[in-house]
């Protein structure tokens, strides 16, 4: 049933392959979380300014992506992404075949999903900061950049951190879905290994333990960050 000898490092086992797969999962999670946060900031900005059209587009984006299964979004971007990129390249006069690699596609797909969740978190955090603070900062003669980076930014971060921690957990778990694109992360490595060794239970339990380790460890990390950022309030 559970074969420990298949998990050793080196040529006899799959230990080192799983180590690289774990690193790949972490890489994709961090990249897509970062890209997702950037996208979320744009979305929040579009939702909060008074322009009706941008608000409509932003609301449409978050509603649709959150109402459709993650797997479907990944399929759409993985299989449809190349077509879109090639038609954009055609506009610029390039007619060759372009193929994005699995890492790029996977990162973009997960970022699209993660951004919808982060945007809700950031929006709530922004609204939680007292508007009087902006007025106070203006009265002190701070310019727009100073207001954002010295007054609003740190406070938004404090309010948003617990939510961001949750989104990180969701993102980390969603990366298991991009195994369908062929990117060798934990889930893909599990399928490969169990097909070769005919022992799915061993590798699936390993994958579950690896994910459990990653989520627990990063959860602890976010707890420390939260404590650090709310020092003045405890």
Partner 1 sequence: MQIFLDYFEQSLLFRNFVEVLSGLDNTLLLLIISLPIGFVLSLVFALGRVSENKIISKPIAGYIFVIRGTPLLVQIYLIYFGLGSIEFIRESFLWILLKEPFWCGVLALTINTVAYGSEIFRGGIQSVTKGQIESGLSLGFNKITLLRKIIFPIALRKVLPSYGNELILMVKATSLVSLTTYMEMTGIARKIMAKTFAPVEAFIAAGILYLFLNFLMVQFVKYLEWKYNPHLRVEQN
Across the chain, which distance is largest between two alpha carbons, in Å?
Answer: 70
d(CA 199, CA 4): 11
Give the tokens for residue 96.
């060759």
Q: Which residue from 154, 64, 146 is spatially nearest to 113, judged by alpha carbons?
A: 64
Contact residues: partner 1, CB under 8 A: 1, 64, 67-72, 75-76, 79-80, 83, 173-174, 176-177, 179-180, 187, 190-191, 194, 198-201, 204-205, 207-208, 211-212, 215-216
> Between residues 147 and 204, which has the closer beta carbon with respect to partner 1?
204
Task: Give the single-character DSSP code of 93.
Answer: T
Q: Which of 175, 207, 163, 167 is nearest to 17 (CA)?
A: 207
Name which of 22 and 194 has its Cβ closer to partner 1: 194
Residues with Cβ within 8 Å of residue 118, at least 6 apart in sequence: 36, 37, 39, 40, 163, 164, 167
Q: How far apart are CA 177 and CA 106, in angstroms?
A: 9
Closest separation between CB of residue 120 and partner 1, Å? 11
Min dist. Cβ of residue 211 to partner 1 (A):
5
CB nearer to partner 1: pick between 127 and 209: 209
Rounded to the nearest whole angstrom, what is the least distance from the CB of residue 71 to partner 1 in the complex? 5
Cβ distance to partner 1 smaller for residue 72 or 140 = 72
Distance of closest approach, residue 128 Cβ to partner 1, in angstroms: 18
Number of Cβ within a 10 Å radius of residue 126: 18
Minimum distance, C-beta of residue 80 to partner 1, in the bound complex (Å) = 4
Q: Of the two residues 107 and 151, which places its CB atom closer to partner 1 in the complex?
A: 107
Enumerate residues 6+ apart whose C-beta is below 8 A from 227.
234
């Amino acid at each position: 049933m559970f074969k420990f000898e298949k998990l050793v490092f080196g040529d006899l086992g799959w230990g080192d392959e799983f180590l690289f797969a774990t690193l790949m999962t972490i890489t994709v999670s961090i990249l897509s979380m970062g890209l997702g946060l950037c996208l979320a900031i744009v979305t929040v900005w579009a939702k909060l300014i008074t322009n009706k059209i941008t608000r409509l587009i932003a609301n449409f984006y978050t509603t649709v992506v959150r109402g459709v299964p993650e797997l479907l979004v990944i399929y759409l971007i993985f299989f449809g992404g190349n077509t879109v990129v090639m038609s954009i390249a055609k506009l610029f006069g390039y007619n060759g075949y372009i193929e994005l690699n699995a890492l790029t596609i996977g990162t973009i797909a997960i970022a699209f999903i993660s951004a919808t969740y982060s945007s809700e978190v950031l929006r709530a955090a922004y609204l939680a900061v007292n508007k009087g603070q902006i007025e106070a900062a203006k009265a002190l003669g701070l310019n727009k950049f100073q207001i954002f980076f010295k007054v609003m930014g740190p406070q938004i971060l404090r309010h948003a951190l617990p939510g961001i921690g949750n989104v990180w957990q969701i993102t980390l778990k969603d990366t298991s879905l991009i195994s369908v694109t062929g990117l060798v992360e934990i889930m893909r490595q599990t399928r490969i290994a169990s097909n070769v060794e005919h022992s799915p239970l061993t590798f699936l339990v390993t994958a579950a333990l690896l994910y459990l380790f990653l989520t627990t460890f990063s959860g602890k990390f976010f707890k420390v960050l939260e404590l650090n950022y709310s020092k003045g309030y405890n």
